[in-house]
């Protein structure tokens, strides 16, 4: 019993915050034409194990009493991108491309539990996948949609604004190749540890990969470029390692940065340290962090993957971004920095005079619901004072007394009036989300 480390659960007034966040994300995604899908929680282990580094964190699942013929090796998915790529290939014949989908589900990783890390966590992903080809403008699109969603979360739930750090794999890979690095993925994964390990540590890893000190120095100088100025292309070229891939990467990065900067000037920087550890990214890569809460780490990330989804014959290039719902909201909810104004949807409690007249209270409640007003009937016919305390403990703002021709009291102010055709204040209908309550 009790809690299991890394598996957060919330009280109703916390879950309401999370539900509101999900509703906001879903609303933005649907306004942009993304279709919702869900994939099963379990995937064949062979699918999950292909992604390198992450394998050791996979949860393996088997039946307690497995039988002959059971597919023995299943695992819980560790993100929503790998299952989505599998879904696209499975259903390619029935989908229309480019296919735009959102997916809001939990994923599981057996990480070492620590501050801000969860073993069960919700993600909200959007991706656009083409068949054979996919226009670059979709890279811009998914990023703008997610930034719009973050802006709504900031406006409605008060989460801090985000900073998106953007880079490009063509640029990184081209730059490393121009420097003579042969195992570029190994170098990328080393640089991906910069924030954790520091320059000296990464320098050592790169040296261990057989790179000379000039090369290592150039890689670290490149990774140090962080700017919100549109002139970053020249800054990169000045490092001297230029080829077609570098130029293609700079071109894409300029287009993405330019389009995002135009609409969200305070929320985007070019950061050549961004690499993403996963091997399937092939172009744009980006990470979002919360301004003023950078220590929380990446709350949202994604990129372009040109060959993740393939059935051997056809390839389905995609681009997507994944919002870390639990990463962002679990700390805010746990600390009580965000909490719903009440623990129940009910905006009014219908009091019961005596068990003999419970039917009358039920009828009042049924009529309220018919008018779209969430309510509940008192569980007992205690004294009115006790019924008011019952409402108060839950944060229910109104109590209806005396049956059909009764009165409604706002228990916050004590104001009371005739119940006929009563409607709650618009602001009370749905529980408000309170920020940093006392």
Rank residues 94 and 200 by Cβ distance to a second copy and give the closer one.
Answer: 94
What tokens does 361 get? 């209270």
Residue 338 or 373 having the CB closest to a second copy? 373
Nearer to a second copy, 165 or 409 (CB): 409
- Of the pair 19, 227, the CB lying nearest a second copy is at 19
Is the Cβ of residue 56 or residue 237 nearer to a second copy in the bound state?
56
Q: Residue 25 Cβ, how far from a second copy at the closest point, in Å?
A: 13
Q: Least distance in Å: CB of 10 to a second copy?
A: 7
CA distance 276 to 197: 15
Quick check: 29 and 152 in contact, CB under 8 A? no
Q: Which of 325, 345, 353 is nearest to 424 (CA)?
A: 345
DSSP assignment of 239-308 equals TS---HHHHHHHHHHHHHHHHHHHH-TTSEEEETT---S-TT--SEEEEEEETT-GGG--SEEEEEEEEE
Directed axis angle between helix 213-223 and helix 184-191, to 10°?
A: 50
Q: How far is the CB of 435 from a second copy (least distance, A)?
A: 20
Pairing, β 35-36 against β 407-410: unpaired
Decide whether 16 or 256 has the Cβ nearer to a second copy.
16
Quote the tokens at residue 426.
């618009």
> Whole-angstrom Cα distance, residue 173 to residue 160?
33
- The dihedrals phi and psi of 395, each to the nearest 5 degrees, come to 80, 15
Q: What is the 3-state secondary structure (H, E, C) of 183-235?
A: CHHHHHHHHCCHHHHHHHHHHHHHHHCCCCHHHHHHHHHHHCCEECCCCHHHH
Question: Among residues 124 and 218, whose Cβ is nearest to a second copy?
Answer: 124
**Structure-token pair, residue 432:** 């408000």
In terms of CB distance, is 83 or 174 closer to a second copy?
83
Instruction: Quote the least distance from Cβ 404 to a second copy, whole Å.
Output: 18
Q: How far is the CB of 203 from a second copy (least distance, A)?
A: 29
- Least distance (Å) from a second copy to the CB of residue 175? 28
Shortest Å distance, C-beta 12 to a second copy: 4
Question: Minimal distance in Å, beta carbon 389 to a second copy?
Answer: 10
Question: Of the two residues 76 and 206, which places its CB atom closer to a second copy in the complex?
Answer: 76
Structure tokens at 174: 């081209």
Distance CA 80, CA 122 (A): 10
| Least separation in angstroms between CB 129 and a second copy | 11
Q: Among 126, 169, 94, which Cα is nearest to 27's?
A: 126
Alpha-carbon distances, residue 113 vs 109, 118, 276, 406 (angstroms) = 10, 7, 21, 55
CB of 337 to a second copy, least distance (A): 17
Q: What gap in Å lies between CA 113 and CA 343, rounded to an integer?
A: 29
Q: How many Å apart are CA 253 and CA 405, to the nearest integer?
A: 67
- Nearest CB to a second copy, comparing residues 45 and 207: 45
How far is residue 232's CA from residue 401's CA, in Å, rounded to a whole number? 68
Among residues 58 and 206, whose Cβ is nearest to a second copy? 58
Q: Supply the minimum distance, in Å, between the C-beta of residue 187 and a second copy.
A: 26
């Amino acid at each position: 019993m009790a809690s299991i480390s890394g598996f957060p659960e919330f009280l109703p007034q916390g879950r309401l915050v999370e539900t509101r966040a999900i509703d906001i994300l879903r609303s933005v995604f649907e306004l942009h034409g993304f279709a919702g899908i869900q994939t099963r929680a379990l995937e064949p282990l062979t699918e999950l194990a292909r992604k390198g580094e992450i394998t050791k964190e996979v949860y393996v699942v088997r039946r307690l009493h497995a039988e002959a013929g059971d597919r023995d090796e299943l695992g819980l998915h560790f993100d929503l991108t790998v299952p989505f790529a599998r879904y696209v290939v499975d259903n390619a014949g029935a989908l229309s491309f480019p296919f735009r989908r959102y997916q809001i589900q939990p994923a599981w990783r057996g990480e070492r539990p620590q501050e801000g890390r969860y073993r069960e966590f919700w993600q909200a992903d959007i991706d656009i996948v083409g068949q054979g080809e996919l226009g670059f403008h979709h890279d811009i699109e998914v990023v703008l949609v997610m930034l719009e969603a973050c802006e709504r979360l900031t406006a409605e739930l008060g989460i801090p604004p985000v900073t998106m750090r953007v880079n490009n794999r063509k640029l990184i890979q081209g730059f490393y190749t121009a420097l003579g690095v042969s195992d570029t993925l190994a170098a990328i994964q080393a640089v991906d540890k910069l924030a954790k390990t520091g320059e000296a540590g990464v320098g050592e890893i790169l040296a261990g990969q057989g790179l000379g000190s000039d090369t290592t120095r150039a890689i670290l100088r490149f990774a140090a470029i962080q700017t919100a100025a549109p002139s970053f292309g020249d800054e990169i070229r000045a490092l001297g390692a230029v080829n077609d891939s570098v130029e293609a990467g700079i071109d894409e990065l300029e287009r993405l940065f330019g389009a995002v900067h135009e609409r969200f000037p305070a929320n985007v920087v070019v950061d050549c340290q961004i690499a993403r550890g996963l091997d399937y990214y092939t172009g744009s890569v980006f990470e979002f962090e919360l301004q003023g809460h950078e220590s929380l780490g990446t709350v949202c990330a994604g990129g372009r993957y040109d060959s993740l989804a393939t059935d051997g014959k056809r390839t389905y290039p995609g681009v997507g971004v994944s919002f870390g719902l639990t990463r962002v909201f679990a700390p805010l909810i746990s600390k009580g920095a965000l909490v719903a104004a009440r623990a129940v949807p009910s905006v009014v409690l219908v009091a019961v005079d005596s068990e003999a007249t419970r039917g009358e209270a039920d009828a009042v409640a049924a009529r309220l619901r018919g008018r779209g007003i969430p309510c509940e009937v008192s569980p007992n016919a205690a004294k009115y004072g006790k019924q008011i305390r019952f409402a108060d403990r839950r944060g229910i703002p109104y109590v209806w007394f005396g049956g059909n021709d009764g009165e409604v009291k706002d228990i916050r102010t004590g104001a009371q009036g005739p119940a006929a055709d009563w409607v709650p204040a618009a602001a009370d209908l749905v529980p408000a989300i309170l920020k940093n309550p006392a």
